[in-house]
Amino acid sequence: MSMQPLARLLAATLAFCSAAVLAAVDINQADQAALESVKGIGPALSTRLLDERKKSPFKDWPDLIDRVKGIGPGNASRYSEAGLTVNGSPYAGAAGAGGKPDAKADKAGAQAAKK
């Protein structure tokens, strides 16, 4: 028996698992287990997220930051980099956007979203 088919199967399995780990978790669709699969989100935060989402879905990242205690621009950036999205969108201040997010601009955006 040749090892080549086995190696291909193993490579395909690893690729599938890697893709599953990096899959986006949308906050408006995820259950508690999916939320807790995002690095940094534990049972207490996932419960707060779900409780707040029951009131109404999150419109965008500023809405999430404004409504959920414990999520500010820094955590939003970290959770986004770990795969969390709001309505399919990553956090605009995530590291891929050129460094540290501008906390003042994000807070102003959250306040504007309130109005």
Nearest-angstrom CA–CA distance, 95 and 115: 28
> SS3 sequence, 56-102?
CCCCCHHHHHHHCCCCCHHHHHHHHHCCEEECCECCCCCHHHCCCCC
Pair of tokens at residue 104? 């003042």
Nearest to 49 by CA among 20, 33, 91: 33
Q: What is the mean pLDDT of the chain?
A: 79
Residue 19 has pLDDT above 50, yes or no: no
**What's the number of domains the chain is made of?**
1
Domain that holds residue 20: 4-114
Give the pTM.
0.64
Decide if 41 contacts 32 (C-beta within 8 A): no
pLDDT at 97: 42
